[in-house]
Structure 1
Amino acid sequence: MADRGKPFTDGNFIKAFMMEAANDLYPGSISLSTSSVVRRTEELEENIELQIREKARAFLWYSLARGESTDLSSTSQLLMFIRGVDSDFQITEELASVCSMHGTTTGKDIFMEVQKTLQDYNLQWNQLRGVTVDGGKNMAGGRKGLVGQIKTQLEDLQIPGALFIHCIIHQQALCGKDLDISCVLKPVVFAVNFIRGNALNHRQFQAFLEEIDSDFCDLPYYTAVRWLVVVKSCFVFTRSETK
């Protein structure tokens, strides 16, 4: 309903339709117990991981994006995204692993999780071409951080070093805290408020956009948004290819 932009009041109709369909298709009851939901979710997870493993077998090169964030229960959640390319130049971008760490989160601890994930997907260090991390010391540290641990591993295996990148979105967030861009924002905010603050101006602006065949049909209000980044800012990949 949300994806199609339907009103939420349509939910009652959909529910009634589903109940009628369920009575015809499943003359008893549809099991939605906790154990059933957990089992089905685990089956979906296993299927997705199997698809990713199949694609990972064909990778010629791959890169990693790793980040750490703390949830509401103060548990550190480590996420690793993987991006690989095969011989047909087909690119796969997926969330490869999520690990809950209840103890320390040093660079060595994170490196062990990275190593475990690579083993799970049968990925070799000599295929690694890029690593993206946030600015935390346990991630970006050149000696004891994740970056330093990976560099040491590559040196021990006599593998050419990978490219290490500081997350661009995280850099943008850091710059935004100190960079004064009011000279740009104030005129933009004034223009937006002038258009949206008056119904006539808004209608005329919409007519203007339609007249010039603009790709955009309207102008939203300016809102100051603080982006909370998971992976400390970052990588949003969908599972569209594996659904």
Structure 2
Amino acid sequence: MSFSTLKCKIANESRQFNPAWTYKYLFILPPHPNAKPMCLICIECIAVFKDYNVRRNHIEKHQTFHTNFPKGSQERVAKPERATAASLRVSWILAKKKRPFTDSETVKDCMLAVVDEVINDDKIKTSVASAIKNVPLSDTSNIRRVEILAADVYETLLGDLMKADTMSIAVDESTDKTDTAQLCIYVRFFDSKCFREELLCLLPLEGHTTGNIVFGKISIFFKDNGLDMMHVCMLVTDGAPSMTGKVNGLAARWSTVAPQLISLHCIVHQAVLCAKLSGALKTTMDNVMAFIRSTSSLQHRLFCMLLSEMSAEHHDLLLPNDVKWLSKGKALERFCGLKEEIITFLRNSKQKKGRNALDDIFKHLNDLNLALQGRDKTAIDLVEQMCTFPVKLDLFATDLSIGRMLHFPPPRKCISSPAQITDVMTDFIARLKMNFAGRLDGLVLPTEVAIFVRDPFTVAIEGDLSARAKQVVPSIDKGKFSLKLVDMRSSVTMAQELCTNGPAMFWTDVNVHQFPNIKKVAIVMLSMFGSTCESSFSHMNSIISNSRCSLTDRTLHQCLRIALTSYEPKVTSRCQSLFNIMIALIS
């Protein structure tokens, strides 16, 4: 007769935290989900809810605690509190720099080395070195501190969002190095002091990433965190079908919950789509990129040696990338700058015609991309840049047609006759104009209201400004809006403040009680995103690198939040709250 031995799993034992551990071993259970017992002395967490594990941690790591710090002694709490605060600050800096958890131990070794070299007094050196050694900086400690710090800044963010009347959401989806689809959600809002752009959450998507699934995930997140989807005034997406579908797209599903929602295709994405190459220019670009991306390491080394021997201005070519804000124009500019060296190297250059002009037009497109990028760029800023560029294209077309080439310096230097400028570049600029015109027609932002927010002292009050403003904020009174705008325009001081501080700071300082309707419209417009959170994925790939590909989705989320947030953690108050419990226990 045979008997099968079944191994009991910890997860099936339903172990609970024992309150007696708090008084016997100074362990508590943090309030966040899936929390583990945490030591108040070293802030270490125990993986298993067992009395033996908790007791062993207390005896092995803190067996001299009661001897060194008798009951009732304030030093019993002060030294561990300072060590924990130091540990939290180190973990914050490492997470900000997107460094691995194991680097915390390297930091301790570096601090000890510095103390050993800088301090000459042996007594002081021993004291400082002892204090550093008592700072818990293991990789597991670093993980726990990142959890605490991320939770701290997220609580602050949630608190500010609860007070905000409106917010704008940017949604984008990408795949990390482990082939997990990550939905990145950014939020922009006014916190009564300034406009903030923060990472709201990073949601992993298992399986398909349809609009219904994405909307379901976001709905659950909003509900679990006490946020109201009705408060979202704008949704910015990357234009994918799952986001913009008229029936089951994220924007369509969200509009059923918040009818006032304005949906916008990321303006930076649209600018890139406008600049698609075709025909001869695409062939030229492909040939240039093929040379730069040569797969032969030997040829690359030989080319670099030639540049050094010829005392060239640059030592190598730039490697471009198809990601929209990594500049192909810079790569082309470098290529044209090294044209003579490349001709010498290849002995027979192909597809030379048109490269210089292509270099210049891409440089202008790069300048546009740079103007569209960055934090604290509102939808108003981005729309203004997009509206300005077609005017520049008219100048470029005229410049090429008459052969003056003021905006194309390399061709002016290299080409002896304007007839050498073919119709290729003129046709490309004409296509750009058509593409930008078509994209601009799809922008749903009311131009009159955007002009009003940018400069309320010059906008025409007559007409349908108040009606347009009511479309943005349905709750305002159109009559009071117009009357208060007249009062504001009569103030010379406020006009000077606008010129000095700019629109964002100006509207921040406007008295909400004196101009409630006007400020509400301005806050909603300035809270709108113009682009998605694409740059967050660059940070995500830095965090979950090839050597850290085993990070869980939860830990990745916490590391990314710390790396991107503008909030500062309340380290002192966080430590004080933990050690107030300890004081109450040991007194």
| Range class of TM-score, shorter chain | 0.5 to 0.7
1:170-181 → structure 2 map (5 Å cutoff): 170-178=269-277
Aligned residue identity for 1:175: C
Structure 2: gaps of 5 or more residues: 1-95, 97-106, 117-124, 286-307, 326-530, 537-562, 570-587
Following the alignment from structure 1 to structure 2, what is the Cα–Cα distance between the partners of residues 200 and 103?
52
Q: Does residue 222 of structure 2 align to residue 81 of structure 1?
A: no
**TM-score, length-normalised on structure 2?**
0.30
Aligned residue identity for 1:153: V
Following the alignment from structure 2 to structure 1, what is the Cα–Cα distance between the partners of residues 115 and 275?
48
TM-aligned CA distance change 1:103 to 1:13, over 3 Å: closer
Following the alignment from structure 2 to structure 1, what is the Cα–Cα distance between the partners of residues 136 and 128?
8
> What do you get for the CA RMSD once the two structures are aligned?
3.9
| Cα offset, 1:238, TM superposition | 3.5
Q: Does residue 323 of structure 2 align to residue 227 of structure 1?
A: yes
| Cα offset, 1:38, TM superposition | 2.0
1:1-243 → structure 2 map (5 Å cutoff): 16-17=113-114, 23-28=129-134, 30-34=136-140, 36-86=141-191, 88=192, 90-154=194-258, 160-178=259-277, 224-227=320-323, 234=534, 238-243=564-569
Following the alignment from structure 2 to structure 1, what is the Cα–Cα distance between the partners of residues 110 and 133?
21
Following the alignment from structure 1 to structure 2, what is the Cα–Cα distance between the partners of residues 28 and 242?
25
Q: Which residue of 1 aligns with 2:50?
A: none
Aligned residue identity for 2:195: I
Q: Which residue of 2 aligns with 1:216?
A: none
Aligned residue identity for 1:94: E
Aligned residue identity for 1:224: P
Task: Check conservation: 2:166, 2:231, Cα contact below 8 A.
Answer: yes
Structure 1: gaps of 5 or more residues: 4-10, 155-159, 187-196, 203-220
Following the alignment from structure 2 to structure 1, what is the Cα–Cα distance between the partners of residues 142 and 265?
39
* Identity percentage of aligned residues: 24
Rg bigger for which structure? Answer: 2
Task: Check conservation: 1:65, 1:235, Cα contact below 8 A.
Answer: no
Aligned residue identity for 2:171: R
TM-aligned CA distance change 1:33 to 1:169, over 3 Å: same
Aligned residue identity for 1:37: N
Secondary structure of the equivalent of 1:161?
coil
Moved over 4 A (4+): 11-15, 18-22, 197-202
Following the alignment from structure 1 to structure 2, what is the Cα–Cα distance between the partners of residues 233 and 124?
21
Following the alignment from structure 1 to structure 2, what is the Cα–Cα distance between the partners of residues 80 and 27?
40
Task: Check conservation: 1:56, 1:122, Cα contact below 8 A.
Answer: no
**TM-score, length-normalised on structure 1?**
0.65
TM-aligned CA distance change 1:61 to 1:25, over 3 Å: same
Task: Check conservation: 1:147, 1:164, Cα contact below 8 A.
Answer: yes
Task: Check conservation: 2:165, 2:231, Cα contact below 8 A.
Answer: yes
CA displacement 1:206-237 (0-9 Å, x = unmatched): xxxxxxxxxxxxxxx876343278x9762559
Secondary structure of the equivalent of 1:142?
coil
Following the alignment from structure 2 to structure 1, what is the Cα–Cα distance between the partners of residues 263 and 244?
9
| Cα offset, 1:15, TM superposition | 7.0
CA displacement 1:58-81 (0-9 Å, x = unmatched): 201101001111112221101100
Secondary structure of the equivalent of 2:275?
helix
TM-aligned CA distance change 1:78 to 1:141, over 3 Å: same
CA displacement 1:133-165 (0-9 Å, x = unmatched): 0121111212111111112223xxxxx321111
Q: Which residue of 1 aligns with 2:10?
A: none
Name whichever structure is richer in strand by fraction: 1
Following the alignment from structure 2 to structure 1, what is the Cα–Cα distance between the partners of residues 159 and 257?
26
TM-aligned CA distance change 1:27 to 1:124, over 3 Å: closer
Secondary structure of the equivalent of 1:131?
strand
Task: Check conservation: 1:61, 1:129, Cα contact below 8 A.
Answer: yes
Aligned residue identity for 2:254: I
- 102-111 vs 19-28, which moves further: 19-28
Task: Check conservation: 1:83, 1:91, Cα contact below 8 A.
Answer: yes
Number of aligned pairs? 200
CA displacement 1:29-85 (0-9 Å, x = unmatched): 744143x22211111111111010111122011010011111122211011001112
| Cα offset, 1:126, TM superposition | 2.7
Aligned residue identity for 1:56: L
Secondary structure of the equivalent of 1:96?
strand
TM-aligned CA distance change 1:23 to 1:162, over 3 Å: same
Task: Check conservation: 2:236, 2:532, Cα contact below 8 A.
Answer: no
Aligned residue identity for 2:260: G
